[in-house]
Structure 1
Amino acid sequence: MKRLCELYFKLARVLLALLLSGMVVLVFGNVVLRYAFNSGLTISEELSRIFFVWIIFLGATVALAEHGHIGIDFVVKNMPRPVAKAMAVLGSLIVLGCCVLMLSGSYTQSVINLTVVTPVLNWSMTVYYGAGLFFAVVAIIIILVDIWRVLADRPAIAIGAPARERAATGEAPR
């Protein structure tokens, strides 16, 4: 299971790089075409917008798994261990609730917009709301694993942490 998670996060990082590269090429190419040749690609704007939405949500799953999001932990560090664990679980449950709401809302919007198509590509608008669905499902899994780790007194090693971070925390290499 752990290897599957590592494979997913490695694939996610590669996909993020490809999406970002594609977005840069599309936008830069469109700017050059507009200013140098007085033309442009209408597909460029729409495709780069889709890439941007997916970059945001895919990157958010990677950041969540690596605990790379902004956190203020100086208060929790000064609490007794049982209270700190309770606060960590409470915080995770609140985020889990938000992710469930996001899942519900993204699913509803995906169903509503299933037959609505984008203006240029004629793709279903679900391609936008599917990013929210994807994020919510992956985030729920990550948060449940984090809650289990806190309750089971396991070390707080991020699921998708790069090897150098695992080595720094003392986790055995594979």
Structure 2
Amino acid sequence: MTKIADVLFYLLKTIAAMLLIAMIVMVFGNVVLRYGFNSGITVSEELSSWCLTWMTYTAGLVALREHGHLGFDGVLKKMPAGMQRLLLCVAQVIMIGFMGMFLYGSWQQTVINLENMAPASGLSQGLLYGIGIVFSVGAIFVLLADLIKIATGQLIHTLSSEADEAMAEIEELHETEHLKH
């Protein structure tokens, strides 16, 4: 099952990269056309903002799976291991609840906007709001998988503090310098 998930998330990374490239090409092309030729492609402004929205959500989903989001874990690290697991499980359940609400709202917005057409491209606005559905369903699966791993002890404290990592690097440098002298 993890191999399938790995392939899906690799595909999401690829889609996010392609959306970024498309957005850069459209925006840069429009800048060149506006300043160089006093013209532009109207649909590229609309589609580049759609690319930004879709890229943000797809990359956010990848970051969620890779535990790449920022987290505050100063208090959590001071707790005993059992309490850490309990609090992490509670946090996962809360996030799943929020994603459920986000899914509900995204579904409503998508349905409301299915008949509304974007002014420049003529595409259904439901396509723009549909990324919320994709994101929330994917996030619920990622969060559920992490919840199961945390509850069963397979996933130990996933948060890492950048400050702790920086301090470890500094201590390592000091030890290296101390050995030289």
Within 1, Cα distance between the matches of 2:111 and 2:150? 36
| 2:84–2:157 contact (8 Å) kept in structure 1 | no
Within 2, Cα distance between the matches of 1:89 and 1:95? 10
Return the letter of the residue paired with 1:128. L
Aligned to 1:150: 150
Aligned to 1:80: 80
Instruction: Give aligned pairs, total.
Output: 158
Q: How does 1:5-20 map to 2 (within 5 A)?
A: 5-20=5-20
Bigger relative contact order, structure 1 or 2, given CA contacts below 8 A and separation 6+? 1
Q: TM-score, normalised by structure 2?
A: 0.84
Q: Does 1:61 align with 2:65?
A: no
Gaps of 5+ in 2: 159-181
Q: Which has the higher helix share?
A: 2
Larger Cα-atom Rg: 2
Q: 1:27 to 1:98 in 2, by over 3 A?
A: same
Q: Does 1:103 align with 2:114?
A: no
Instruction: Tell me how far 1:157 sits from its aligned partner.
Output: 9.5
Gaps of 5+ in 1: 159-174
RMSD: 1.3
Return the letter of the residue paired with 1:99. M
- Deviant stretches of 4+, over 4 Å: none
Q: How does 1:27-38 map to 2 (within 5 A)?
A: 27-38=27-38
Aligned to 1:137: 137
Q: TM-score, normalised by structure 1?
A: 0.88
Within 2, Cα distance between the matches of 1:113 and 1:125? 5
Aligned to 2:40: 40
Identity across matched positions, percent: 39
Return the letter of the residue paired with 1:42. T
| 1:146–1:156 contact (8 Å) kept in structure 2 | no
Secondary structure of the structure 2 residue equivalent to 1:46 = helix
Within 1, Cα distance between the matches of 2:156 and 2:33? 49
Q: 1:156 to 1:129 in 2, by over 3 A?
A: farther
Q: 1:11 to 1:157 in 2, by over 3 A?
A: farther
